[in-house]
A and B are shown apart, each in its own frame.
Chain A
Amino acid sequence: MTIRAIAALVAYALLLIASPAQAQNKSIVVASTTSTQDSGLFGHILPLFKTATGIDVRVVAQGTGQALDTGRRGDADVLFVHAKAQEEKFVADGFGVKRFPVMYNDFVLMGPKSDPAGIKSTSDIAAALQAIKTKAAPFISRGDRSGTHIAELDLWKAAGVDIAKDKGPWYKEIGQGMGAALNTASASNAYVLADRGTWISFKNRGELGIVVQGDKRLFNQYGVMLVDPAKHPHVKKELGQAFIDWLVSAAGQRAIADYKIENQQLFFPNANAPGA
């Protein structure tokens, strides 16, 4: 019986050791955001990338804050997020090599059919947010340092509202991803800021609908960066750079534009747009 025990131990150790070796074969880890994953974009573009290059892309979807932390720790090879200021700081601090713009989508303000703040069909996001605060209408915030959360905070500022001071029980921070925020808003008939992509594929809509869209301040820019191998020598810089090169190439940009849900394009490639 001891022989069997030893054999089991050896087999277990092999299971632990053997696989990462094969796993190194032409694969990279990309830290991205939950909203990008939830939109289904990766399911569409990654198989195309694999066919073109044979590289397996493993996407770890986290909040923007956590994705940047993952990059700083060296646990990912490439970052693909939507928080320009933070991305530029990431590069400036020496964690990333260079930031490339890739695409944009937009945020939309969702609200219940009953519209307690009376803002339906405004196209001014600042005015809408002011009305929500004034009427203390229920509002769900992601509260998780994600790109969406940071965009939301910037919009409150643009609306002249000091949200840290002025928030009340009507403002609920849930510390979770976009899908969870939409679920909560749908269940409690509240307002919520969402990226259009997640909204289009969201199934549990309840009474929610779009109340504000098209304001230029709702623009959501995505960037991609290679984690700096100078800081983390194990980073797969050739494979990672291949991914970045493909995303900004004509083929990658076309793949992004081709991704549609309910016949609507979600992401608009702009790798060549100046200042993106």
Chain B
Amino acid sequence: MPHDPSALQLILSGDPALLAIVRLSLIVSLSAVAGAALIGLPCGAVIALARFPGRELAIVILNALMGLPPVVVGLAVYLLLSRSGPLGSWGLLFTPQAMVIAQTILITPIIAALARQTIEDLWLEYRDELAAMDVGLAGRVATLLWDARFSLVTALLAGFGRAAAEVGAVIIVGGNIDGFTRTMTTAIALETSKGDLPLAMGLGLILITIVVIVNALAWGMRRAGERLAG
């Protein structure tokens, strides 16, 4: 009986199950980055630029939330989305949507905290000009987010890295369903638990390669953008 194929053979033969897993991993993690950016970038910028009581505490908490354990986030989202939970009627448990929600929650603090630091540093440069033009808080947030866009790419990549690498949240809320909610990381966990360690390691190398490629693309976009916009 032939040996089960190695990870390399699966890629070379374009194995559809493997491609589906890679595709789902990318869709889930990239969607989470999009959602986390939509929430986290403005939040981070507002915390950087506004002055309000408890601001220092907010910064400390935001930084601490970068270390949210994925498995805890997964469990919390599971309890929310379970049919016996408050949002059960949405019917989202064990679907890719639940995985996107869990990962968005997980990485929003990362993007927000890094954005806050980036914007706060940039503010030192921009403060006088924007004060002289009497730009209000909303205008400052929008202007600095846009002007810091190349540095903020790094924050987004940090979020993507975290999302693509984690297994604790997606396996609990997704259920690792074959052909439906199985991602690279949950597949690696499965193959490890089945004892097929070479395959698990091979999948791991594929995952790392994909993350490197995403980073390289982002870097390329950033360099091209900088060349154009100075």
**B31, B88, B194 pick with most chain A CB within 10 angstroms:** B194
Of the stretches A57-65, A110-118, A120-128, the one at the interface is A57-65
Q: Are A19 and B83 in contact (CB under 8 A)?
A: no
Task: Indicate with 1 or 0, residue by residue over A44-62, a CB within 8 angstroms of chain B CB atoms.
Answer: 0000000000000011111
Which residues of chain B come closer than 8 Å to A262, judged between CB atoms?
1
Contacts A75-B82, A177-B193; is A1 near B177 (CB within 8 Å)? no
Please report the C-alpha to C-alpha distance between residue A59 and residue B177 in the assembled complex, in whole angstroms. 6
Task: Indicate with 1 or 0, residue by residue over B187-207, a CB within 8 angstroms of chain A CB atoms.
Answer: 000101111110000000000
Q: Are A74 and B195 in contact (CB under 8 A)?
A: no
Q: Are B83 and A203 in contact (CB under 8 A)?
A: no
Q: Are B94 and A234 in contact (CB under 8 A)?
A: no
Q: Is A85 an interface residue (CB 8 A)?
A: no
Q: Are B96 and A43 in contact (CB under 8 A)?
A: no
Q: Are B178 and A74 in contact (CB under 8 A)?
A: no
Report the minimum CB–CB distance from B198 to chain A (whole Å).
Answer: 8
Q: Is A89 an interface residue (CB 8 A)?
A: no
Please report the C-alpha to C-alpha distance between residue A5 and residue B142 in the assembled complex, in whole angstroms. 11
Chain B: which residue is nearest A11 at the CB level? B34
Binding site for B on A (CB under 8 A): 1-2, 5, 8-9, 12, 15-16, 19-20, 23-24, 29, 34, 37-38, 42-43, 58-62, 72-75, 176-180, 182-183, 186, 198, 201-205, 232, 234, 262-263
Which residues of chain A come closer than 8 Å to B48, judged between CB atoms?
none
Please report the C-alpha to C-alpha distance between residue A202 and residue B196 in the assembled complex, in whole angstroms. 7
Contacts A1-B142, A5-B38, A75-B82; is A179 near B193 (CB within 8 Å)? yes
Q: Are B31 and A15 in contact (CB under 8 A)?
A: yes
Report the minimum CB–CB distance from A232 to chain B (whole Å).
Answer: 6
Contact residue among B35, B94, B146, B192 (Cβ-Cβ distance under 8 Å from A179): B192
Q: Are B84 and A203 in contact (CB under 8 A)?
A: no
Q: Are A73 and B83 in contact (CB under 8 A)?
A: yes
Which residues of chain B come closer than 8 Å to A37, judged between CB atoms?
190
Please report the C-alpha to C-alpha distance between residue A62 and residue B92 in the assembled complex, in whole angstroms. 18
Contacts A73-B82, A262-B1; is A201 near B194 (CB within 8 Å)? yes
Contact residue among B31, B82, B88, B94 (Cβ-Cβ distance under 8 Å from A12): B31
Contact residue among A34, A58, A202 (Cβ-Cβ distance under 8 Å from B177): A58
Please report the C-alpha to C-alpha distance between residue A99 and residue B218 in the assembled complex, in whole angstroms. 54
Q: Are B34 and A23 in contact (CB under 8 A)?
A: no
Please report the C-alpha to C-alpha distance between residue A16 and residue B90 in the assembled complex, in whole angstroms. 10
Please report the C-alpha to C-alpha distance between residue A38 and residue B120 in the assembled complex, in whole angstroms. 51
Please report the C-alpha to C-alpha distance between residue A16 and residue B93 in the assembled complex, in whole angstroms. 12
Contacts A12-B31, A59-B178; is A182 near B146 (CB within 8 Å)? no
Please report the C-alpha to C-alpha distance between residue A19 and residue B160 in the assembled complex, in whole angstroms. 23
Q: 4 closest A-B pairs (Cβ-Cβ)?
A: A179-B193, A60-B175, A74-B83, A204-B195
Report the minimum CB–CB distance from B201 to chain A (whole Å).
Answer: 12
Q: Are A234 and B83 in contact (CB under 8 A)?
A: yes
Which residues of chain B come closer than 8 Å to A75, judged between CB atoms?
82-84, 93-94
**8 Å CB interface, B93-132 against A:** 93-97, 100-101
Q: Are A8 and B34 in contact (CB under 8 A)?
A: yes
Please report the C-alpha to C-alpha distance between residue A9 and residue B39 in the assembled complex, in whole angstroms. 10
Q: Are B101 and A182 in contact (CB under 8 A)?
A: no
Please report the C-alpha to C-alpha distance between residue A204 and residue B191 in the assembled complex, in whole angstroms. 11
Q: Are A15 and B100 in contact (CB under 8 A)?
A: yes
Task: Indicate with 1 or 0, residue by residue over B160-187, a CB within 8 angstroms of chain A CB atoms.
Answer: 0000000000000001111011000000
Contacts A15-B97, A20-B90, A74-B88; is A203 near B196 (CB within 8 Å)? yes
Chain B: which residue is nearest A13 at the CB level? B35
